[in-house]
């Protein structure tokens, strides 16, 4: 992993990116100081920029590795404070911690808590001095490398959930900042970007772009054994017949999250019925339950788009259907991607077709 490694990992939600990243982190822990800041849960993915990501990650890393007393971190904390006008800067600086006294109520927030409390205000603050913030965050990462004795590796997970407009802003309009990132970085992004005309230009800013796709599970397929192992890890072995497990694996469309959702629902239904074994009807009803959300998420235009071959779908329609999981991007054995409808959605489409002649769809 050379110094300027900037990896973009794209793939649809539920395909296993986070699991893969956790594995990468475990594998590289001895060589790098792994940083996994919770960017997607603290920053607003609708208005995110590389400066906010870098500054938050630096401050989070400083807290996680006990660097609060480092000079660069103290400087960053000062930058993150709410600016106050004063006529006597020297006195104000000397009395910084004594200027505000509050009695009662919650304590003053720490710099990291400010990100959670006042995300928009912090964003405004960073916008006023982007270069200053970038440089001080870079210094924090430099200090971290010295202290830990190994270079930091920043893993930013969860950005695939960004709205498409924000993804364009971050990955394309602000792409030049990717090259300037001061640490090795692996970042996830939405799959829908890969269908845009600007994706090629954006790719050049990363040292590599990796794409995770679902693997269509089939009998005796290595991916089936992966799902078998997943079921075993969840303690389901022996509770479900091989045939019923194969059915759940078929319905999961190669998406680990969908598989676990199906298995969890089937187990809940078995428990609810007072059964010690998951039976076929529990699996069938679990599939109905997991399909339930699609009935609300998909409208007539979505069903029309689903019925068309992929080459006839618009980019917008494809991106939307991939985002909600109604379409799944598979790894085609012949190489390259293949986009198909989710088997659970296919059931819904078949039902709509059969109900249409009776005037119910």
Q: Which of 5, 28, 110, 116 binds another protein (CB under 8 A)?
A: 116
CA dihedral 281, 285, 291, 296 (to 10 degrees): 150
* Strand partners for 214: 330
Helix, strand, coil percentages (3-state) for the chain, rounded to 5, are 60, 10, 30
Site of tokens 């109900």: 355
Q: Which 59-88 positions form the footprint of another protein (CB under 8 A)?
A: none
Q: Lay out the site mask for another protein across 294-333 (x = CB under 8 A, - = otherwise).
A: xxxxxxx--x-------------------xxx--------
Q: Lay out the site mask for another protein across 254-283 (x = CB under 8 A, - = otherwise).
A: ------xx-xxx-xx--xxxxxx--xxx--
**CB closer to another protein out of 70 and 348:** 348
**CB closer to another protein out of 70 and 326:** 326
DSSP-derived secondary structure for 11-47: --TTSSHHHHHHHHHHHHTTTSEEE---HHHHS-TTS
**CB closer to another protein out of 202 and 321:** 321
SS3 297: helix
Helix axes 256-272, 222-233, angle to 10 degrees: 50
Q: Which residues contact 264 (CB under 8 A, 6 or more apart)?
A: none
DSSP 8-state symbol, 83: P
Q: Does 13 bind another protein (CB under 8 A)?
A: yes
Candidate ranges 38-46, 49-57, 129-137, 217-225; the one touching another protein (CB under 8 A): 38-46
Q: Which of 65, 289, 338, 346 binds another protein (CB under 8 A)?
A: 289
DSSP 8-state symbol, 110: P
Q: Does 164 bind another protein (CB under 8 A)?
A: no
Candidate ranges 144-152, 198-206, 221-229, 351-359; the one touching another protein (CB under 8 A): 351-359
The encoded tokens of residue 358 equal 């009776």
Site of tokens 């400010």: 114
Write out the residues near another protein by the rule CB under 8 A.
Answer: 13-14, 38, 40-42, 44-46, 116-117, 158, 161, 260-261, 263-265, 267-268, 271-276, 279-281, 284-285, 288-289, 292-300, 303, 323-325, 348, 351-352, 355, 360-361
């Amino acid at each position: 992993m050379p110094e300027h490694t900037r990896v973009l990992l794209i793939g649809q939600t539920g395909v296993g990116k986070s699991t893969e990243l956790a594995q990468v982190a475990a594998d590289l822990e001895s060589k790098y100081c792994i940083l996994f800041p919770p960017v997607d849960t603290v920053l607003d993915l609708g208005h995110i920029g590389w400066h906010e990501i870098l500054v938050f990650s630096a401050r989070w890393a400083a807290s996680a590795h006990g660097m609060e007393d480092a000079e660069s971190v103290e400087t960053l904390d000062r930058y993150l404070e709410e600016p106050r006008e004063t006529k006597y800067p020297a006195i104000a600086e000397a009395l910084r911690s004594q200027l505000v006294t509050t009695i009662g109520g919650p304590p003053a927030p720490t710099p990291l808590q400010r990100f959670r409390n006042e995300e928009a205000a912090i964003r405004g603050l960073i916008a006023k001095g982007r270069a200053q913030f970038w440089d001080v965050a870079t210094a924090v990462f430099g200090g971290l490398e010295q202290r830990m004795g190994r270079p930091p590796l920043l893993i930013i997970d969860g950005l695939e959930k960004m709205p498409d407009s924000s993804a364009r802003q971050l990955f394309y309009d602000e792409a030049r900042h990717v090259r300037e990132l001061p640490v090795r970085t692996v970042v996830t992004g939405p799959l829908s970007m890969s269908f845009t005309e600007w994706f090629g230009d954006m790719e050049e800013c990363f040292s590599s772009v990796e794409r995770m796709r679902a693997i269509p599970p089939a009998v005796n397929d290595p991916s089936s054994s992966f799902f078998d192992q997943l079921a075993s890890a969840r303690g389901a072995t022996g509770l479900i017949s091989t045939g019923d497990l194969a059915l759940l694996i078929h319905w999961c469309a190669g998406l680990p999250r969908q598989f676990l959702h199906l298995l969890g629902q089937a187990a809940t239904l078995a428990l609810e019925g007072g059964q010690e074994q998951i039976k076929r009807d529990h699996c069938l009803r679990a599939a109905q339950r997991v399909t339930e959300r699609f009935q609300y998420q998909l409208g007539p235009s979505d069903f029309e788009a689903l019925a068309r071959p992929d080459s006839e779908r618009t980019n917008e329609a494809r991106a939307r259907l991939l985002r909600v999981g109604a379409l799944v991007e598979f790894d085609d054995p012949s190489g390259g991607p293949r986009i198909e409808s989710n088997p659970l959605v296919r059931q819904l489409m078949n039902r709509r077709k059969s109900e249409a002649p009776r005037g119910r769809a």
